[in-house]
């Protein structure tokens, strides 16, 4: 792959997480070109909802019907018993005509080439590809796209873009692991059972098999061996210090340099995150990429885009190793365990069961809405549009689907209320935590 080819295709693919059919649909609605998802087995997010065999077929049909792509993760570091079970799964994925497999293990790659030879292979960042020669090796094994190790600098990734012959994909947003390229034994050591060294049991939770319990996020203290109970003064507060607690990656302000470099795909972490995360992060990066398509030399990020990213649950942001110079000496470790969470998912617009899905504003402007948080009169809802705009509605009155007036809405219940703007199925609405406005002359 040479530079001339890259110069004719300057717009990178935006790859978002599709941890469930709902989040997959939302990612596409808000601008993703492709999603990555996992079946019930063989992915590195074993605690996510994930997709069963029928869901995978539905997801593929949805993606291809929209002219989009779907990649399926088969990126565990497989143990012997995994390999035999994996063969019919790979054959099924090829039958579905998914767009690519995401793999980290050489043995799994050999199986994929034999049992799903018509399906492209993308190499996971878990394979920790750290140089151009390694990248060329993987290309010779049939790999089309490589997500390099997250530890690389901008210069090292640039070298890989220029010489590897592979498509290059980088993570631009999401949670990061403190371990090298995500290869961690802490969860296995602290949760596993010596009597049951297999992939998973209630007492065996290996990160490399998809069942990380995130012990790096726990509160840790330091104690000297001969002084049990005497904690050294390294703690941030009375709960401990969070010396292993990584900040979240955010490269929104650096999309321009990455586009100019010739990166083929920008990947968003977060298959275990919710609908608000999927919508907000996808649309922010969609707008940044589209602006760079119009003007590759555009700098920075629009305040509205960063506002989206600050209104999702997140840890303080970092630019990671790619732009280490931008950190100005600040560490990537965050010394607090709590997330920053100013807003939460209010709910999703739903299509009425007895009405065409394109006509969600019916009956005098009433919409059907699935509440995901407790909602009360006076709450301010922000409906997110794919173009980056927001439509605001203050709840003054709402009813259940039978028309009964409600004083409050509980999570996972459907309600109806009037809005004066158009909405669409699966549109995401957020609300500020604790914010309520005055309705009818009284604070509600």
User: Does residue 411 have a pLDDT over 80?
Assistant: yes
Task: Provide the residue ranges of all domains of the chain, joining segments of one domain with +.
Answer: 3-180+246-327, 343-443
11-25 confidence digits (pLDDT tens): 999 999 998 999 999
CATH fold, domain 343-443, is Elongation Factor Tu (Ef-tu); domain 3 (2.40.30)
pLDDT at 80 over 90: no
| Residue 244 pLDDT | 59
Kindly tell me if the per-residue pLDDT of 443 is higher than 50.
no
What is the reported pLDDT for 382? 98
411 close to 348: Cβ distance less than 8 angstroms: no
The per-residue pLDDT for range 256-307, each reduced to its tens digit, is 999 999 999 999 998 789 999 999 999 999 999 999 999 988 888 999 999 9
Closest alpha carbon to 313 in 349, 283, 288, 337: 337
Architecture of the 3-180+246-327 domain: Alpha-Beta Barrel (3.20)
- Confidence grade of residue 84 (pLDDT, cut at 50, 70, 90): confident
The tens digit of pLDDT for each residue in 173-217 reads 998 766 555 556 565 555 654 444 444 443 355 555 555 666 665
C-alpha span between 163 and 52 (Å, rounded): 39
Q: Is pLDDT of 444 > 90?
A: no
pLDDT score at 231: 56
Query: Please, which pLDDT band fits residue 172 given cuts at 50, 70 and 90?
Result: very high
Grouping H, G, I as helix, E, B as strand and the rest as coil, residue 39 is: strand
Task: Give a three-class secondary structure readout of 306-324.
Answer: HHHHHCCCECCEECCCCCH
So what's the pLDDT on residue 178?
Answer: 62
Mean model confidence pLDDT for the chain: 83
């Amino acid at each position: 792959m040479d530079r001339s080819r890259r110069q004719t295709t300057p717009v990178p693919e935006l790859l978002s997480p599709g941890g469930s059919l709902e989040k997959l649909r939302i990612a596409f609605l808000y601008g993703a070109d492709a999603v990555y998802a996992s079946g019930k087995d063989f992915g590195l997010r074993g605690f996510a909802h994930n997709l069963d065999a029928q869901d995978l077929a539905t997801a593929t049909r949805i993606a291809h019907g929209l002219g989009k792509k779907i990649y399926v993760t088969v990126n565990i570091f497989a143990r012997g018993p995994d390999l035999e079970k994996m063969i019919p799964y790979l054959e099924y994925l090829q039958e579905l005509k998914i767009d690519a497999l995401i793999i980290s293990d050489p043995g799994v790659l050999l199986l994929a080439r034999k049992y799903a030879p018509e399906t492209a292979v993308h190499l996971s960042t878990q394979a920790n590809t750290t140089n151009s020669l390694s990248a060329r090796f993987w290309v010779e094994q049939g790999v089309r796209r490589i997500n390099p190790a997250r530890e690389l600098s901008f210069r090292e990734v640039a070298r890989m873009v220029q010489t590897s012959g592979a498509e290059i994909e980088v993570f631009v947003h999401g949670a990061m692991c403190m371990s090298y390229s995500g290869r961690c034994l802490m969860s296995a050591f602290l949760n596993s059972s010596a009597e049951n060294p297999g992939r998973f049991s209630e007492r065996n939770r290996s990160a490399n098999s998809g069942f990380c319990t995130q012990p790096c996020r726990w509160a840790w203290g330091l104690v000297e061996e001969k002084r049990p109970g005497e904690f050294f003064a390294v703690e941030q507060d009375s709960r401990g210090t969070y010396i292993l607690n990584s900040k979240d990656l955010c490269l929104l302000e650096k999309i321009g340099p990455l586009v100019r470099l010739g990166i083929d795909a920008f990947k968003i972490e977060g298959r275990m995150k919710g609908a608000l995360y999927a919508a907000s992060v996808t649309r922010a990066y969609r707008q940044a990429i589209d602006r760079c398509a119009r003007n590759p030399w555009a700098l920075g990020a629009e305040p509205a885009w960063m506002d989206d990213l600050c209104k999702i649950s997140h840890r303080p942001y970092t630019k990671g190793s790619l732009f280490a110079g931008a950190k100005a000496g600040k560490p990537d470790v965050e010394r607090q365990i709590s997330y920053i969470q100013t807003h939460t998912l209010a709910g999703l617009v739903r299509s009425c069961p007895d009405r065409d899905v394109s006509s969600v504003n019916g009956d005098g402007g009433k919409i059907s809405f699935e509440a995901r948080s407790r909602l009360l009169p006076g709450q301010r809802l922000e409906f997110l549009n794919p173009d980056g705009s927001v439509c605001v509605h203050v709840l003054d009155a709402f009813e259940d689907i039978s028309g009964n007036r409600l004083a409050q809405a509980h999570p996972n219940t459907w309600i109806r209320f009037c809005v004066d703007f158009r909405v669409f199925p699966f549109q995401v609405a957020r609300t500020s935590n604790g914010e309520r406005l005055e309705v009818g002359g009284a604070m509600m």
